[in-house]
Amino acid sequence: MIDWRSLPPLTALRALAALSETGSTVAAGARLSVSHAAVSQQVKALEEHLGLALVSRGGKALELTEEGRQLAQAVLAGVAGIEEVVRQLRGEEASRPVLVTCTPTLASYFLMPRLAEYQQAHPEVSLMIDPTPQLRDLGPGGADIALRYGNGTWPGLEAHLLVRSPVSVLASPELIPWEINPTPAELADYPWFQELGTNEASDFLEWQGARLNPTRGVTSLPGNLMIEALRSGRGVGPMARAFAEPDLEAGRLRLLHEDTRKKGYYLVTRRDGLRPAARDFARWVRRQARQSWGEAE
């Protein structure tokens, strides 16, 4: 039997859980429709109630202690379970689409060519694909699954590597002939393409100690249009090598440099589990990735 009177106030537990999800009192306050000061007060009251430090305040940003992370994960798991039961009671579970957020590049080159197979096998499942370079929230009120590019380190989330792929800086041989091998500083004087919503061009050059030439300009466009833009011979651009391999092998594009700071594409979910339809879709995505690229980990 639960000793309800010994438990901390639920408002304080909500504040800690929101802080764990968002990483800041400002964002946590916005999520809970309260001020950031209210979040700080609730977390401090929770620490006093438990006699434990739940947040480390020594640096510029707030970080949860190990005790804070354990308690926050327990709260999130409990609330997720309540939300799931409520949805089932309301009859929403079966009809709610599986929401998948991913980059436009991955949506175009990986998901779309394979979705017909999934839909044929699972005609009862509705999908909602959100192609965006922005990181969308996962869980209640957000996406079920994210397919993200990075190193696999997203606090509070579980990540499975789908494919290892550095960011390749590419160009058409018509723009930069095979016999010319420009340095990053020399590439800064070319026109550049980059995926809309990112700073991949300037980020790569700054990593190499160079800066974009402001007189040449950068064209930002959806990731699924990057290959066509690079094939046109009108600029240089970075993109995940996994999706450029056919053009590299055919000689339509050439590799100029690689940025290996990030590992590849990941399937990302919350640690408190997926509902059945989303879990089945996640398994299908991982199976498709293995068939296309082999074992990644």
Q: Is residue 126 domain-shared with residue 106, that is, in the same domain?
A: yes
Q: Is residue 249 domain-shared with residue 273, that is, in the same domain?
A: no
Q: Is residue 187 domain-shared with residue 237, that is, in the same domain?
A: yes
Q: Is residue 142 domain-shared with residue 279, that is, in the same domain?
A: yes
Confidence category of residue 91, pLDDT binned at 50, 70, 90: low
Nearest partner of 104 among 130, 123, 141, judged by Cα: 130
Q: Is residue 139 domain-shared with residue 187, that is, in the same domain?
A: no
User: Domain range spanning residue 229?
Assistant: 167-259
- Last residue of one domain, picked from the residues 74, 90, 106: 90
Residue predicted with more confidence, 233 or 58: 233
Q: Is residue 12 domain-shared with residue 30, that is, in the same domain?
A: yes
Task: Enumerate residues 6+ apart whose C-beta is below 8 A from 118.
Answer: 127, 281, 284
CB 120 within 8 A of CB 229: no
What is the phi/psi pair of residue 255, to 5°? -85, 125
Q: Is residue 180 domain-shared with residue 252, that is, in the same domain?
A: yes
CATH number, domain containing residue 36: 1.10.10.10
CATH number, domain containing residue 284: 3.40.190.10
pLDDT of residue 217: 80
The Cα–Cα gap between 102 and 109 comes to 11
Q: Is residue 12 domain-shared with residue 86, that is, in the same domain?
A: yes
Q: Is residue 199 domain-shared with residue 123, that is, in the same domain?
A: no
Q: Is residue 65 domain-shared with residue 204, that is, in the same domain?
A: no
Q: Is residue 235 domain-shared with residue 194, that is, in the same domain?
A: yes
- Last residue of one domain, picked from the residues 65, 90, 115: 90
CB 224 within 8 A of CB 217: no
pLDDT of residue 21: 86
pTM comes to 0.66
pLDDT of residue 93: 59
Q: Please spell the DSSP secondary structure of 171-204, one letter per residue.
A: E-TTTS-TT----HHHHTTS-EEEETT--HHHHH
- pLDDT per residue as tens digits for the range 200-226: 888 888 898 988 888 888 888 888 889
The Cα–Cα gap between 134 and 196 comes to 10
- pLDDT per residue as tens digits for the range 48-76: 888 888 888 776 667 888 998 899 888 88
Q: Is residue 179 domain-shared with residue 61, that is, in the same domain?
A: no
- pLDDT per residue as tens digits for the range 105-151: 899 899 999 999 999 998 988 899 998 887 787 877 788 999 998 88
- pLDDT per residue as tens digits for the range 237-294: 998 899 999 999 999 999 999 988 888 899 999 887 788 889 999 999 999 999 988 8
Total length of the chain: 297
Q: How many structural domains does the chain have? A: 3
- Last residue of one domain, picked from the residues 42, 68, 90: 90
The Cα–Cα gap between 117 and 156 comes to 32
- What's the average model confidence in pLDDT over 157-177? 92
Confidence category of residue 92, pLDDT binned at 50, 70, 90: low
Q: Which token pair is 260?
A: 């290996």
User: How distant, in Å, are the alpha carbons of 108, 140, 198, 235, 254 from that of 216?
Assistant: 28, 44, 18, 10, 21
